[in-house]
Structures are given as C-alpha cells and as structure tokens.
Amino acid sequence: MKVTVTGATGVIGRALVRELLDAGDEVTVLSRDAERARAALGARVEAHRWGDAKAEPPPPAALRGRDAVAHLLGEPVAQRWSDRAKREIRDSRVQSTHNLVAGLGELPEGERPRALVSQSASGYYGPRDDERVDESAGPGDDFLAGVTLDWEARALSAEELGLRVVVTRTGVVLSEQGGALEKMLPFFKLGVGGPVAGGGQFVPWVHLDDVAGALQFCLHRDQATGAINLTAPEPVTNRELSRTLGKVLKRPALAPVPSFAVRALYGQMATIVTTGVRAVPARLLELGYRFRRPSLEDALREATGS
C-alpha cells in the first residue's frame, strides 16, 4: 500500500511511519520542512513540503496515486490555554483538514487515494461520569468537544469525494516521548506523584504501540469507517493509573493533587486532567483488532523502560 502521512515527525507520526515501513508499505510524508523530515525518518520515505497547512492545500504530487492518507496534524493540547493557544489548537486541526480535503478534491477521481484516516480525540465526548462510552455516544459541549466535532466534520466531508473515511478518537497515549505521561513522570520519579482531583475520573489510556497498530489496521481494513475509539479495552481511573505508575517506578504514589493546584498550574487546560471519559474501543474490537498492550501495568513498564 502507498500511504501519505501528515504530522509524520510527531510522536504518533514517527511510530506509524515505522509501522508502515516494517509492513512493507511505501510511505510519503508531508512536512513544513521536507529535508528535516527526511533526515528524521530515513531515506525510505518520500518527503514533500507543505509549508502552511492552515492556509493552503498540500502539493498534489504528495497525494496523487496513493492508496490512503493518514492525517495526524495538530498543535499539542497539553499546554496552557491562552486565547492564542486555543486558536492554534483549533486551526491546526480544523483548517489543515479542510485544506487536505480540498487538495484531495482537486485530483482527478482516478488519481485520488481511496481512504483517509484522520486523527481525532476522545475529547469529542466531553467530561463524563463512569458510564462506558462507545462510538454511538454524542459529543460534549466543552472547548475540546467543539474543536473535535468541527475537526471530524472536515474529515468526513471527504466521503463526498468517494473516500472511505475513519476518524480515530484517540485517548491518552502512553509514551515517555510526549503527552500526559511525560509530564507526570518527573513528579512520580521524585515520589511526589498521586491521584489528581480525587482520582475518580476515568482515563481512556492507550499505549503508543497500539495507536500505531490500530492506525495501520484502519488504513488497511476496508470495513473500518466512521468514528473509532482508539483506546485500550479497559479504561482506568486516575487513581488506578497513579497507583500502577507508582508500582512500576517503585515509588510512592499517595500524594493527592487537589483540583485548585492543577488549575493554578495549567489554567483552563486543567479540565483534561481533572475530568475524564470512560471511552471503550467497541468498533476496533468488533472489527477484530488485537491489542498488543491491553494491560496497563505492561503498557506503563514498556513506556517508562521499567
């Protein structure tokens, strides 16, 4: 299969590119700096420059004749949400997806990719209590839910061009290279980590190996369409995540972190830590995807090198 990947130099992008190359797929990547992407990802990838994904479609040569596109662009959410940051979080997702689909539409029908797998997020559902949430659930009404709703709508508009479209609602990715775990580790390694805001909120975790594996699965599986939760089979509470991380690192994990302390540190962004959603991967399991790291302890040991 010939696959074009956007966001290929990010944590998830690099993992997916490795996954595809290992499977024998031909990989093209789109990046603001094609030379840097080629240096980072190796000579086996074909790299094209997409200078401003928020303002222009990608170059047709990067899409023409490919079988599928994996769209992974997006400004990191785990940062303090100033007005400027919120605009960038939204525009980097919504506008880039709009421009990608526009670029696909400019190609003759016979030269278009057949599938688009576009990254989304479990933030689509907004904060929930302890209900198990599958892909049939509706959207939330907070900032991230609004961003995700518009983001998915732009991706799903590619169905009008005849593409099979998947939007992967990805949970909290466990990887030492970035995201929530990277921010948690320094505190836990010092022995001052613990449950946040009471610890009862659910964390829809997933290991990076399964993010890459499931994305590749969706690219290749014609039956994969629409929304797919990319989370481990069993979400855990923040309290259980903290306890297990402490066990893996052989450090105490009993120091509770109150909500006000998280809000003081992160502002509005604190809501993604102090609230949660018990998202489950009903569609992935139905389609036959076999998780590589379904155990939280195993996933944390691998992610932390412990």
Q: Is the pTM of this model over 0.75?
A: yes
CA 298/CA 306 separation, integer angstroms: 9
Instruction: Name the phi and psi angles at 180, rounded to 5.
Output: -65, -40
Q: Can you give the pLDDT at residue 188?
A: 85
Directed axis angle between helix 143-156 and helix 83-106, to 10°?
10
Contacts of 171 (CB under 8 A, 6+ apart): 121, 122, 203, 204, 205, 206, 229, 230, 231, 232, 235, 279
Asked if 196 and 237 touch (Cβ cutoff 8 Å), the reply is: no
CA 20/CA 176 separation, integer angstroms: 21
Q: Can you give the pLDDT at residue 185?
A: 81
Asked if 76 and 11 touch (Cβ cutoff 8 Å), the reply is: no
Chain mean pLDDT for the chain: 94
Reported as half-sphere exposure (CB side, CA atoms, 13 A), residue 132 has a value of 8
CA 190/CA 193 separation, integer angstroms: 8
Rounded average pLDDT over 21-46: 96
| Band of pLDDT at residue 160, cut at 50, 70 and 90 | very high
Q: Can you give the pLDDT at residue 27?
A: 98
pLDDT in tens, 61-98: 999 999 999 999 999 998 889 999 999 999 999 999 99
Instruction: Name the phi and psi angles at 9, rounded to 5.
Output: -95, 0
For residue 193, give Cα distances in angstroms to 2, 22, 62, 189, 206: 44, 37, 45, 8, 20
The CATH class, in words, for 2-172+206-231+278-292 is alpha beta
**Domain parsing of the chain, residue ranges:** 2-172+206-231+278-292
pLDDT of 181 strictly over 90: no
Q: Can you give the pLDDT at residue 194?
A: 87
Structure tokens at 92: 């980097």
